[in-house]
Amino acid sequence: MTTALKVRRLQDLDVKGKRVLVRVDYNVPLKDGRVADNTRIRETLKTIEYLSSRGARVVLIAHLGRPKGKPEPKYSLKPAAEELARLLKRPVAFAPDCVGPAAQPVIAALKPGEVALLENLRYHAEEEKNDPAFAKALAAHGEVFVQEAFGAIHRAHASTAGVCKHLPGGIGFLVQKELEFLDRVIGNPARPFLAIIGGAKVSDKLGVLDKLLDRVDCLLIGGGMAYTFLAGQNVAVGKSLLEPDRIADAKKIVEKAYAKKIKCLLPADHVAVRELKPDARAEVTQSMAVPPEMIGVDIGPRTVEFFTEEIAKAKTIFWNGPMGIFETEAFAKGTVAVAEALGEATKAGAVTIVGGGDSLAALAKAGVADRISHCSTGGGASLELLEGKVLPGLAALAG
């Protein structure tokens, strides 16, 4: 596995007839009071059904959004409970709090095989502080703990790390699957191994870029972060997103790639606008440079062409981060083209792994999500694993 830590799996745990506390990642998008994308909920069904079939009383805990340590109705997990009940085709009890007198009766009423979801953990500031008393109160809900929130295991919170001091535990089927796929990237990937890294900020990705250069054969860089890399190569970037304090770091990444004879490709042209408005007139630049009065918002057609060529050659591909402001239809072509190219590469036999909410949304937009080898539910966690970091949620289980 991607970690040297020895952690138990769900199938190694004695769960029969027990109260099982399961940390899930139901940080899902909501629209008009309903779940807009149920991917993260669907991914937990296998673990929930496994526990229910063994007569466990299943107590699910999760967070949603950033309610800043106090209840906010727009961040309620009630819609997630309703969507889970629809997917399971049976009732899911919902508690209006995750600790205290509002939670306890709901859990006490569970019969073997039944499921309850507790209200948003982040309604309590103690969650993100990994408060020992709060962790102990959560742990009191179960006799066994199962970590199934891959999107949260890179955080040392009460529900991911603190509870492990009080309960025996292991990782659920989703986390197992995530680690197994990432092992292909970290362990012994089929080559050529290509990484595509995009998104807005260089500062978020410097560590992983540095580590990837010890593993990949080719690196493609796009998105807002590409302009900091271009500035490091003395290319004019106009009014595009730029992190001036990271230009030197970006330059070092390119120099390291060159020294290791790794292909590191930056955009050769751009879709650019004069102002960031959905109806702004977009123009394609004639070179790597962005005119002084313009803002780069997507990779251009020539970049799409050679990025697609590299994707077609690869046998293992890791993608994290869009190529531009893809949420705006007029600026989405580059990101959608990359998504479609990954779909074709998978069909041709490549192992493709995509992580990060924006990248997954791009796959959905391109209609190719079902053609990717593995869509990771935790972009941050997958990047930290690739960077070689120990994830607190796994370390706590090993401890």
40 catalytic? Reply is yes
Residue found under tokens 């029969």: 16
CA 46 to chain centroid: 19
359/200 Cα distance (integer angstroms): 12
Q: Which one from 54, 78, 177, 201 is the annotated catalytic residue?
A: 201
Q: State residue 4's pLDDT score.
A: 56
Return all residues near 68 (Cβ < 8 A) that are at least 6 apart.
122, 125
Q: Which one from 18, 40, 184, 205 is the annotated catalytic residue?
A: 40
Annotate 195-252 with DSSP letters as a single string.
Answer: EEE-SS-STTTHHHHHHHTTT-SEEEE-STTHHHHHHHTT--BTTS---GGGHHHHHH
Q: Please give the domain boundaries of the chain with CATH numbers for all domains.
A: 10-178 (3.40.50.1260), 189-386 (3.40.50.1260)
pLDDT digits (tens, 9 = 90+) for 8-40: 999 999 999 999 999 999 998 898 999 988 989
pLDDT digits (tens, 9 = 90+) for 298-342: 999 999 999 999 999 999 999 999 999 998 989 999 999 999 999
pLDDT digits (tens, 9 = 90+) for 151-187: 899 999 999 999 999 999 999 999 999 998 888 777 8
DSSP-derived pairing of the beta strands 34-35 and 30-31: antiparallel
Q: State residue 399's pLDDT score.
A: 62
74 catalytic? Reply is no
321 catalytic? Reply is no
Q: Which one from 357, 365, 371, 389 is the annotated catalytic residue?
A: 357
* Predicted TM-score of the model (pTM): 0.85
